[in-house]
């Protein structure tokens, strides 16, 4: 690797570590929505009703979201409009590519398409219900792009799921009971519970998601 490449890699690691630390330190992880809410959102995105969200459906939702935040309809989200949203100011600043202190529809949509690519873990250009559920988890927990390829690898997913488990296991008994896993699709909860004891161990939680993604 050239000196410039090494510098680039070092800079990336340092900045990503800072971003991750800032995200972790900013607040405790916000509670996850209920499974029914996630299903409602998924169904709203899946306008073709084929059980998967494609890029066009995602982009259309991005346009609708952008329009809802652009209160004065000038095709930009400015600092004043930002205050009425839950958009993280640090993310706003970073994706404002032309640095005009406003997000135009292109900057907003392009960043959201990056999120779609990250959420599309099996890389089939569609988001399935399990991928969307994992996306919601990772929005709160974060993700470490260890190999810096902009996509979620299974090893990286395992790391995020382990962190999610630590956050979700509020009574610290080493298992997720129904109340702690209320964000999960009920059928998945049953399927992942290999020993049928009515709760999910860390291993069941992580393996359940991994197996569902890989068809294992």
Partner 1 sequence: MNHSHYRILRLAPLAALLGSPFVALAAPKPAAPAANAALVAALQAVSPDPLGGRLGLVAATARTLDNRTAPAMRSEQTAMIEADRQAYAAWKNTRKS
Residues 107, 24: Cα–Cα separation, whole Å: 25
Nearer to partner 1, 13 or 194 (CB): 13
Q: How far is the CB of 13 from partner 1 (least distance, A)?
A: 10
Q: Does 66 bind partner 1 (CB under 8 A)?
A: yes
User: Is 102 a binder of partner 1 (CB under 8 A)?
Assistant: no
Per CB under 8 A, 151 contacts partner 1: no
Cα distances from 98 to residues 28, 48, 101, 104, 179, in angstroms, run 32, 35, 8, 10, 45
| Least Cβ distance, residue 198 to partner 1 (angstroms) | 26
Minimum distance between the CB of residue 169 and partner 1, rounded to whole angstroms? Answer: 19
Per rule CB under 8 A, is residue 121 in the interface with partner 1?
A: no
Helix (H) or strand (E) holding 162: helix 154-168
| Of the residues 78, 81, 87, 158, which one makes contact with partner 1 according to CB under 8 A | 87
Contacts of 141 (CB under 8 A, 6+ apart): 29, 160, 163, 164, 167
For the bound state, the minimum distance from the C-beta of residue 47 to partner 1, rounded and expressed in Å, comes to: 8
Which DSSP symbol is given to 174? S
């Amino acid at each position: 690797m050239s000196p410039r490449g090494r510098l680039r890699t070092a800079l990336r690691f340092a900045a990503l570590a800072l971003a991750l630390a800032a995200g972790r330190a900013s607040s405790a992880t916000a509670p996850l929505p209920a499974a029914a809410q996630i299903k409602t959102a998924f169904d709203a995105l899946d306008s073709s009703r084929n059980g998967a969200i494609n890029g066009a459906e995602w982009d259309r939702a991005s346009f609708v979201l952008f329009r809802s935040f652009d209160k004065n309809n000038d095709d930009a989200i400015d600092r004043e409009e930002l205050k009425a949203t839950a958009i993280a100011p640090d993310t706003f600043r970073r994706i404002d590519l032309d640095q005009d202190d406003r997000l135009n529809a292109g900057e907003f949509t392009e960043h959201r398409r990056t999120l779609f690519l990250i959420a599309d873990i099996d890389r089939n250009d569609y988001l399935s219900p399990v991928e969307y559920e994992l996306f919601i988890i990772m929005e709160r927990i974060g993700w470490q792009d260890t190999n810096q390829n902009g996509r979620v690898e299974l090893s990286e997913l395992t790391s995020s799921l382990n962190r999610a488990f630590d956050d979700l296991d509020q009574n610290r008994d080493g298992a997720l009971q129904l109340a702690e896993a209320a964000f999960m699709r009920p059928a998945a909860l049953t399927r992942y519970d290999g020993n049928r004891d009515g709760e999910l161990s860390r291993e069941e939680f992580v393996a359940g998601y991994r197996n569902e993604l890989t068809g294992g």
